[in-house]
Amino acid sequence: MTALATSEPLTATRPLVEMRDVSIAFGGIKAVDGVSIDLYPGEVVGLLGHNGAGKSTLIKILSGAYAADHGEIRVNGEPVHITSPRDAKRCGIETIYQTLALADNVDAAANIFLGREKLTPWGTLDDHAMEAEARKVMGRLNPHFRRFKEPVKALSGGQRQSVAIARAIHFDARVLIMDEPTAALGPAETQQVGELVKQLKQEGIGIFLISHDIHDVFDLADRIHVMKNGKLVGTARVADVTKDEVLGMIILGKCPPGAVPGPGAAG
């Protein structure tokens, strides 16, 4: 397949994550078809496309929710096998799902530490220590949050979002996948997420931002990958293309001069 020559990387380092020639099919339909994307440290890469373009599926392969039929994933240049969410987390890849994927009936701390609980020396849950750390990380994201004893279903959309983000960033993530992070949020909370993205970027974390809101992506991303019908239309630096051109990529699959065309580019 076409080796995706991303002209020059933004930084001189090697990619944090590379997905090469990845494919997955469900019942004969190729949801993702020979897609190659990459991400560098401290970079925000937007993944754009219509509903059903395959962006969420592609990202679920990276987060371990699906196993690819074909293709390779490299983290820091090393090929890795990701067949479960646990594998992905071990590689430092954390995901904030569009659905948030919270256990609604337990509290914020239990959600943040779900699957990675802190234990006392006797092997029992150390809820106090977990609550203390939850208070710390939530204090950074949402300083007014006080409802640590309530099941998360009682929380507001923004608070639930904070819990999901806290869970992703608390464990030294190197790669953060944000699937429609602002879909359920009001303007103030959306801005808060934007600030957070910039802060994490400065810490050298690489972020995949999946969104169908092109304005969000232009505000936050350094580069974009556009997908259509399971294939990569092209890759571009945000600085090199206009919003209209990107819309053309999303809707028509037409690659503008400022972008590097992929296998899915029209014409």
Positions that interact with another protein (CB under 8 A):
63, 65, 84-86, 89, 95, 97, 99-106, 110, 114-117, 119, 123-125, 128-129, 131-132, 146-151
- Give the nearest distance from C-beta 117 to another protein in angstroms: 5
- Give the nearest distance from C-beta 103 to another protein in angstroms: 4
Residue 23: closest CA among 73, 58, 64: 58
- Give the nearest distance from C-beta 104 to another protein in angstroms: 5
What is the number of other CB atoms lying within 10 angstroms of the CB of residue 239? 8
Q: Which helix (H) or strand (E) holds 62?
A: helix 55-62
Looking at the Cβ atoms of 131 and 216, the one nearer to another protein is 131
Residue 19 sits at the vertex; the CA angle it makes with 92 and 80, to the nearest 5 degrees, is 50
Looking at the Cβ atoms of 150 and 203, the one nearer to another protein is 150
Looking at the Cβ atoms of 76 and 98, the one nearer to another protein is 98
One-letter amino acid identity for 231?
K
- Give the nearest distance from C-beta 58 to another protein in angstroms: 16
User: Which residue is associated with the tokens 């019908």?
Assistant: 229
Alpha-carbon radius of gyration of the chain: 19
Q: What residues contact 79, with CB distance under 8 A and at least 6 apart?
A: 72, 73
- Give the nearest distance from C-beta 198 to another protein in angstroms: 26
Most distant pair of Cα atoms in the chain: their distance: 65
| Bridge partners of residue 12, in order along the sequence | none
Looking at the Cβ atoms of 67 and 114, the one nearer to another protein is 114
* Terminal Cα distance for the chain, rounded: 17
Q: What totals of helices (H) and strands (E) does the chain contain, helices first? A: 8, 11
Looking at the Cβ atoms of 11 and 105, the one nearer to another protein is 105
Looking at the Cβ atoms of 14 and 146, the one nearer to another protein is 146
- Reduce the DSSP state of residue 263 to 3 states and report it: coil
- Give the nearest distance from C-beta 36 to another protein in angstroms: 25
